[in-house]
Amino acid sequence: MPSEHLIIQAYDGIVLAKITKERVLEAPVINALAEDLAKLVDRYPKISLVLDLADVGYLSSSFIGKLMALFKAVTAVKGRMAVGGVRPSLMPLFQVTRLDKIITFAPDAEQVIQLYKRKPL
């Protein structure tokens, strides 16, 4: 089932994926999001993926696991991935699990897009 909570925009070789659901807790929602995000890796060779989490206020450890799986898939095809717009209240979740050590986090997605534009793959 395609996720109804994901907006995709692709331009200049950069793919922006914005999750539009505030509570990313239900397994069907998380699985649908993960499937759709994984498809982007297949569709765009050497993807520059920017994941916008500005609308997300609640998430589960399962979603963090899916994020790690996505990061591994992106790096496996020599792509790159960053996360933008994580609310300050949620940032400790990524720090405790040390995802912030391997995935780039930026205050907003636009910053990552500009960075990726300046440094194309």
Q: Which residue has the tokens 């399962």?
A: 62
Taking alpha carbons only, the member of 2, 5, 1, 98 closest to residue 57 is 5
Minimum CB separation of residue 50 from other proteins in Å reads 21
Nearer to other proteins, 45 or 92 (CB): 92
Q: Which helix (H) or strand (E) holds 105?
A: strand 104-106
The two structure tokens encoding residue 86: 């994580």
Nearest CB to other proteins, comparing residues 24 and 49: 24
Shortest Å, Cβ 57 to other proteins = 6
Binding site for other proteins (CB under 8 A): 23, 25-27, 57-62, 64-66, 68-69, 72, 89-90, 92-93, 96-98, 101-102
Helix, strand or coil for residue 18? strand
10 or 68: CB nearest other proteins: 68
Give the whole-angstrom CA distance, residue 67 versus residue 61.
Answer: 10
Nearest 10 degrees: Cα torsion 62, 76, 121, 53: 0
Tokens, residue 56 = 């997300």
Q: Of the two residues 2 and 57, which places its CB atom closer to other proteins in the complex?
A: 57
CB of 90 to other proteins, least distance (A): 6
Q: How far is the CB of 4 from other proteins (least distance, A)?
A: 16
